[in-house]
A and B are shown apart, each in its own frame.
Chain A
Amino acid sequence: MAIVKPFKLEDVREALLAAGVEGLTVTEVQGYGRQKGQTEIYRGAEYQVNFTPKVKVEAVVDDGQVESAVEAIRTAATTGRIGDGKIFVLDVESALRIRTGETGLAAL
């Protein structure tokens, strides 16, 4: 699971495709880490917006693919400036393809 800057989504998608990851789920999220939000001003009323828009990309891959997928995302999503995001690797217990009922690797 990766949290990346929204404009980097296309780069990440292409990089993952090149690394052999063919399925993705993408969610628009808000968050903050060390990057703080923006200040908005409306007729003298100042609002400190604490959350910044990000995109969450989730992909389930075979154990052997994890390193190359993580590297692909990292290279594609980096700008070098604060707010680039994070990648988390999580264990998935099982997977199932709904249409055919296949499980395990065949479901990916």
Chain B
Amino acid sequence: MVRFGGWRTAALALGAAAAPVAAAWGQSTAPAASTATAFVLNSGDTAWMLASTGLVLMMTIPGLALFYGGMVRKKNVIATVAQSFAMTCVVTLVWFVVSYSIAFGTNADPQQNKWWGGLSNLMLGHVGLDKPYTIAGTAYGVPEYVYMMFQMTFAIITPALICGAFAERFKFSALLLFTVLWSIFVYAPIAHWVWGGGFLGSAGVMDFAGGTVVHINAGVAGLVCALVLGPRKGLGSISMAPNNLVYTMIGASLLWVGWFGFNAGSAVAANSLAGIAMANTQIATAAAAIAWMVVEWVHRRKPTMLGLASGAVAGLVAVTPASGWVEPTGALWIGLAAGSICYCSAVFLKNALKYDDSLDAFGVHGVGGFVGAMLTGVFASAAVQKLPDGHGVLTQLFGCLGTIVWTAVVTFLILMVCKFTTGLRVSEDGEREGLDIVLHGETIHD
């Protein structure tokens, strides 16, 4: 028997076997015509994906909005929650117009398809009603519209995570422009590379729900933003204590519950893979929260609510790439590692290297994503699902590096575009007065 290398080749073989049926369903470049063989929809899978989409949207609004909103000073709360809300709206439209096509389209030219999906699905063109989500020749029992929506919610939350790095000083106009450009030129290509049929996925990178695409991506972009923007005025001398950690706790809880849609929904099916992904998510999160709490208790002599919430989020982040690849014991180790390592990166790193990653977008998402992606290579188990050709720790590193380099460079370029058009930071007086009143003309009245 001839052995082929590469995940893509194996999938093509599968696709060739299924070709007669696939041809009846139609690929993205063919018009959706009614055929004798109708699209056989799996209603259980589709129902779960519809629900998962709602859960993941909830992670951004209001999950992330409140998580961050509670951590900033009172004069910046409205502006902070507005960022998540506005970015939801902007990314929705950008995804519809072009970034879905770039991320999940199948480029007619296979060489180009390694890098981007082309423009065949511009304005959701050729996304017909009776078409299943298909990747590399394998069709799922879920309509493409549903999968498109599910992935849209991922595209929404990823840039929203970056807000943690430039909190309390970024202009709203710059944010809107940044979001449009970042969604098209950073998020969509990386999503294509890992999930959309591009070169990272075909090399065997295992990223079940977005350790690279979402967390390393947003985390590193956040670091770049923090470095380019510079620190908040008065950092180190005035109090920047959180205004309401109850908001943060509510936000963290919504993130946790919503993450079931994020991870278990990435099985694209209502099956046992979704079940184990859910179990891994829960176990890693709890372990990470406790690990962070223990480290903090020893280091600071008090366990904090912010620490519990942060540890939980670090666990959620780290288990994201691993959730559908590891067994629960692996998830436990990933959680314990993430909780303790991210405590160090959030607490020590930025003070040591003197950058103001205000809400630890890099410290938690960047570092947590990297830890999780690498440990996925360590703990991945064929007992959970068949491991892709080329899988391994070095392949995971390849995936991380590809993501890091692209996002760092292009995020920097986008920031430069914003700098010379909208400007990046509010004025010093504006920052002192507060973004709520200066950018939005609104205030919290007690």
Contacts and interface: CB of A to CB of B under 8 A. Distances in A.
Interface of A: 40-45, 47, 49
B306 interface: yes
Interface stretch (B132-140, B186-194, B213-221, B344-352): B344-352
Contact of B346 (A40, A41, A43, A49): A43
Contacts of B300: 41
A79 to B, nearest CB: 24
B252 to A, nearest CB: 13
A50 to B, nearest CB: 9
A75 to B, nearest CB: 33
B281 interface: no
25 contacts: A40-B241, A41-B300, A41-B302, A41-B304, A42-B71, A42-B241, A42-B242, A42-B304, A42-B306, A43-B306, A43-B307, A43-B310, A43-B346, A43-B347, A43-B360, A44-B346, A44-B347, A44-B348, A44-B351, A45-B240, A45-B241, A47-B239, A47-B240, A47-B241, A49-B239
A42 to B, nearest CB: 6
Contacts of B304: 41-42
A46 to B, nearest CB: 9
A42 B240 CA distance: 9
Contacts of B351: 44
Q: Closest 7 interchain pairs by CB?
A: A44-B347, A47-B239, A47-B241, A41-B300, A43-B346, A42-B306, A40-B241
B48 to A, nearest CB: 36
Nearest to A48: B239
Contacts of A42: 71, 241-242, 304, 306
Given A43-B306, A43-B346, 12 more contacts: A40-B241, A41-B300, A41-B304, A42-B241, A42-B304, A42-B306, A43-B347, A43-B360, A44-B347, A44-B348, A47-B240, A47-B241
A40 to B, nearest CB: 6
A79 B375 CA distance: 56
B289 to A, nearest CB: 14
B311 to A, nearest CB: 11
A45 B306 CA distance: 12
A43 B351 CA distance: 11
Contacts of B360: 43
Most central of A44, A47, A49 by chain B CB within 10 Å: A44
